[in-house]
Amino acid sequence: MKITIIGTGYVGLVTGACLAELGNDVFCLDVDQSKIDILNNGGIPIHEPGLEEIVARNRAAGRIRFSTDIEASVTHGDVQFIAVGTPPDEDGSADLKYVLAAARNIGKYMTGFKVVVDKSTVPVGTADRVSAALREELAVRQSHADFSVVSNPEFLKEGAAVEDFMRPDRIVIGCDSSAQGDKARNMMKKLYAPFNRNHERTFWMDVRSAEFTKYAANAMLATRISFMNELANLADHVGADIEAVRHGIGSDPRIGHSFLYAGCGYGGSCFPKDVQALERTAQDYGLNLLILNAVEAVNARQKQILGNKILKRFDNKLVGKHFAIWGLAFKPNTDDMRAASSRVLLGELLRSGATVAVYDPVSMAEARRVFELDFYDAPELLDAIRYASSPMDALDQADALAIVTEWKAFRSPDFDQLKARLKQPVIFDGRNLFDPTVMNELGIEYHGIGRSVLTHK
């Protein structure tokens, strides 16, 4: 099938590459010329395991191309995926300006029937606004071209995006019940048929329910994280081990093991903005989502937990102290720094007068770019950051190590070397990578999240 992807970011590029891999003829559009140049020169603008190979293979086979040519992109695809960003507006609601601009561009140039797919995460009711934008543009041209707007939210996880797209646990598609909707449903059925070969993974529903499903999923996941973080903070006080508690409750199939990890808060491009946007949607209808208010508040507090533990341990005196940070990306296997907890910790340490050496396996360049923006009002703080060349290099002469991202490379360090390099063997572990008992045996002062069981013995 002929497919156009509008917005060649994380979601758009993965969607385009994977659909090309299945034999479709894919046109990826972006307004960012530099991204398109990177792709046309054989590179990829993001770090995502397995993606570079798929893009290269399908480019060579002529199944995927990258361009900024809007008219050509509209002409190409019978199915037009909108996969542009939906960042939070000032009031927390999803800013739809990129989605609606993409819709208008389709309306400006389309001639025959188009299925317009909202792949971006968009609030309930957006498909109606996309339809209205298309209709307005068609009216300007007095065109009678026909279309149907479909909701097909994406559930991939950065760091495992290709695998998630190729082996989805579910595909959610919302179509309306008009004749155009039926036509769109049939085309989407054909497009997604390879994913449903062994068993049906598609959940067909109305458009609004599909739009809602994406927010419900992210809000539920964020809730589990904040819930466990809240319990972990209590565990720290009462002398229980949140990891033991996690196993104890996760074995109940009604609860399950996934997403029960306490830590130093969630970040990324999705959970923070999607929780906010859902709260905002509720407010538009005069409702106040109390649980989600708390989820957000707990997360904001949790992002400060490492900084607070460090301040407490060093009697609020960080001037002249030096710290190592392992992990800057908001989670492993990505270079994405959006809303990363490392940014909060770094800010707290630097603004308290400490110096910091940071290390991340892939996001060093992105981190540098982001920190320059974070500290644009205090450029002198940038001089207090050293970008280390390896995890061990980051440790030299540090008063403590703080771990923010659970990269595999950090899970079994050479503890002898770690102790030798640190000024004193102190670890603040924001992802609970290590066993406090083992740390105790190694002579390492260990501060996890919800794991102060040893100090209560």
Q: Give whichever of 88 and 250 is closer to ligand NAI, judged by the CB atom.
A: 88
Could you give the CA distance from residue 437 to residue 432 in angstroms, rounded to a whole number?
12
Residue 159 CB, shortest distance to ligand NAI, in Å, is 9
Q: What angle do CA 296, 300, 301 make, to 5 degrees?
A: 120
* Contact by Cβ (8 Å): 383, 355: no
Whether the CA torsion 41, 45, 49, 50 is positive or negative: it is negative
Question: Please, which residues bridge with residue 358 across strands?
Answer: 325, 387
Could you give the CA distance from residue 431 to residue 327 in angstroms, rounded to a whole number?
10
Interior/surface letters 285-315, b for 16+ CB within 10 angstroms, e for the rest? eeeebeebeebbebbeebbbbbbebbbeebe
3-class SS at 125? coil
Residue 12 CB, shortest distance to ligand NAI, in Å, is 6
Tell me the site size for ligand NAI, rule CB under 6 A.
Answer: 26
Query: With CB under 6 A as the contact rule, which of the stretches 83-91, 134-142, 165-173, 249-257 interacts with ligand NAI?
Result: 83-91
Residue of the chain from 17, 20, 28, 29 that contacts ligand NAI (CB under 6 A)? 29
Residue 255 CB, shortest distance to ligand NAI, in Å, is 25
Query: With CB under 6 A as the contact rule, which of the stretches 98-106, 137-145, 199-207, 247-255 interacts with ligand NAI?
Result: 98-106
Task: State the alpha helices, DSSP H only, in 141-200.
Answer: 161-166, 179-192
Q: Give whichever of 243 and 274 is closer to ligand NAI, judged by the CB atom.
A: 274
Q: Give whichever of 133 and 426 is closer to ligand NAI, judged by the CB atom.
A: 133
Q: What angle do CA 277, 278, 279 make, to 5 degrees?
A: 90
Interior/surface letters 196-227, b for 16+ CB within 10 angstroms, e for the rest? eeeeeebeebebbebbbbbbebbbebbbbbbb
Question: Applying CB under 6 A, does 276 fall inside the site for ligand NAI?
Answer: no
Question: Applying CB under 6 A, does 282 fall inside the site for ligand NAI?
Answer: no
**Residues labelled as active-site residues:** 270
Question: Applying CB under 6 A, does 8 fall inside the site for ligand NAI?
Answer: yes
Q: Give whichever of 58 and 269 is closer to ligand NAI, judged by the CB atom.
A: 269
Tokens of 190: 């054909």
Residue of the chain from 16, 85, 267, 361 that contacts ligand NAI (CB under 6 A)? 85
Question: Applying CB under 6 A, does 450 fall inside the site for ligand NAI?
Answer: no
Site string for ligand NAI, 130-159 (x = CB under 6 A): ------------------------x-x-x-
Residue of the chain from 51, 55, 102, 449 that contacts ligand NAI (CB under 6 A)? 102
Question: Applying CB under 6 A, does 66 fall inside the site for ligand NAI?
Answer: no
Residue of the chain from 36, 270, 340, 350 that contacts ligand NAI (CB under 6 A)? 270
Q: Give whichever of 212 and 428 is closer to ligand NAI, judged by the CB atom.
A: 212
- Whole-number CA gyration radius for the chain: 24
Residue of the chain from 93, 121, 276, 302 that contacts ligand NAI (CB under 6 A)? 121
Question: Applying CB under 6 A, does 222 fall inside the site for ligand NAI?
Answer: no
Question: Applying CB under 6 A, does 160 fall inside the site for ligand NAI?
Answer: no
Residue of the chain from 86, 131, 213, 276 that contacts ligand NAI (CB under 6 A)? 86
The pair phi, psi for residue 328, each rounded to 5°, is: -120, -35
* Contact by Cβ (8 Å): 357, 386: yes
Residue 144 CB, shortest distance to ligand NAI, in Å, is 24
Q: Give residue number: closest CB to ligand NAI.
A: 9
Whether the CA torsion 116, 117, 121, 123 is positive or negative: it is positive
SS3 content of the chain, % helix, strand, coil (to 5): 50, 15, 40
Q: Give whichever of 18 and 384 is closer to ligand NAI, judged by the CB atom.
A: 18
Chain positions contacting ligand NAI, by CB under 6 A = 6-12, 29-32, 35, 83-86, 98, 101-102, 120-121, 154, 156, 158, 269-270
